[in-house]
């Protein structure tokens, strides 16, 4: 027999963990959603940062589930877009553009490690 508290804990937390790489990716994605305020970016760059930031957060959180761990590679595509976007979109100054490039490179690097499997894998 398994205690009820153990069963509830496994049901709520089983099959998912929070690798630091995905947590940092989610935080970087969230920070992109504030470039309009931090760097006074304008559309279309501001819109791109906001959308891509939200998508990075979404895919990082989905990849925290072990069955969805490979979804972290979608963030590589978003990171590549962040590297390219300042050169094809207008609306961002030099600091905002290079910040986006650095965040893009960081998201790519953070999306590559596999992370540890839990004992429930």
Domain boundaries, the chain: 16-111
In this structure, are residues 32 and 83 in contact, taking their beta carbons and an 8 Å threshold? Answer: no
Provide the token pair at 83: 């590297």
Arithmetic mean of pLDDT over the chain: 90
Question: In the chain, how many H helices and how many E strands?
Answer: 6, 0
Q: What is the pLDDT at residue 121?
A: 52
Average pLDDT, integer, range 71-99: 96
In 3D, which of 2, 110, 115, 108 has the Cα closest to residue 69? 115
Span 84-110, mean pLDDT? 96
pLDDT at 16 over 90: no
Q: What local confidence, expressed as pLDDT, does residue 26 receive?
A: 98
Tokens found for residue 81: 């877009």
User: How far is residue 84's CA from residue 102's CA, in Å, rounded to a whole number?
Assistant: 11
Percent of the chain at pLDDT above 70? 89
> Is residue 73 pLDDT above 90, yes or no?
yes
- For tokens 């609306």, the residue is 91
pLDDT at residue 14, rounded to an integer: 67
């Amino acid at each position: 027999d398994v205690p009820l508290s153990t069963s509830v804990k496994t049901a709520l937390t089983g099959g998912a963990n929070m690798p630091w790489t995905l947590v940092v990716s989610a935080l970087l994605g969230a920070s992109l959603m504030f470039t309009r305020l931090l760097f006074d970016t304008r559309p279309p760059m501001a819109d791109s940062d906001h959308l891509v930031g939200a998508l990075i957060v979404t895919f990082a959180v989905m990849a925290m589930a072990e069955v969805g761990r490979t979804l972290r590679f979608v963030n590589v595509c978003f990171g590549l877009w962040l590297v390219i976007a300042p050169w094809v979109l207008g609306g961002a100054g030099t600091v905002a553009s290079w910040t986006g490039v650095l965040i893009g490179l960081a998201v790519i690097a953070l999306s590559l490690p596999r992370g540890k499997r839990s004992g429930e894998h």
